[in-house]
Amino acid sequence: MSEVRTEPVGSTLLITIDRPRARNAVNAAVASQLAAALDELEGDSALRAGVLTGADGTFSAGMDLKAALKGESPEIPGRGFGGLTEAELSKPLIAAVEGFAMGGGFELALGCDLIVAAENAKFGLPEVKRGLIAAGGGVLRLPKRIPHHLAMEVLLTGEPMTGRRARDLGLANRVTPEGDAAAVALQLAEQLAANAPLALAAVKKIVRAADPEAAQREEIEKLMQSADVREGMTAFAERRAPKWTGE
């Protein structure tokens, strides 16, 4: 039985974690299937962006502790928690968060490029309450996304924040009414998909590079030799929408 569903919506792949009875917690099956969904996104040239969400009004409660106690691992070697947190994707991925994004669920959202949160969203890293730390990217990423002392409060208290609070701190790109996060994320993905795919991939590569300046020089050289750059300039001169090929 599939616990991660995929559905192409235009040029966007909608990826849904579908374990509502377990609040979409991540076990080995979810991690494997989520990694496969991301491979689907990367491998299909007709897809320009992805949206990750959870079924039945919950994003993800994080690691499935019952499965972990049985020895299941929610990590994929080289790709991190849920097959996502260490994955190097060339295409934009947007988290559409309804309800709880706790622990590893929050880390999945942090592994995305953009976050759309419903008003009922709850973001939290409660690992310290269980004798653990948020080792799937939470401890490393959160202090880079929001002010240091506020990140430390989240990490050290384990208490959640609302979708509106996440937006106020600059963590969420959009806040929507309950039930609308996926729809708004798909609209945002469509906006991203209108841009040149090589340029989007270059931005992502530069941002995550250990040496961003060197990476930027390298990516600009590649872009200047691409057909898409010529198409972008030609389309501007001819006052028409560009037709990107990704070449």
List, by residue number, the catalytic residues. Answer: 107, 127
Tokens 């880079």 appear where? 144
- Do the strands 75-76 and 80-81 form a parallel or antiparallel pair, or are they unpaired? antiparallel
Name which of 74, 3, 45, 17 is nearest 246 in CA terms: 45
Provide the token pair at 198.
């090589």
Q: How many CA atoms lie within 13 A of 57 on its CB side?
A: 5
Which residues is 95 bridged to in the sheet? 52, 115
Q: How far apart are CA 113 and CA 119, in angstroms?
A: 20
Q: How far apart are CA 166 and CA 174, in angstroms?
A: 9
124 has which bridge partners? 102
Q: At what angle do helices 197-208 and 212-224 cross, to 10 degrees?
A: 160
Q: How far apart are CA 96 and CA 185, in angstroms?
A: 6
Burial of 247 (0-12, 13-18, 19+ CB in 10 A): exposed
- State the DSSP H helix or E strand holding residue 12, giving kind and residue range, or none if neither: strand 12-17
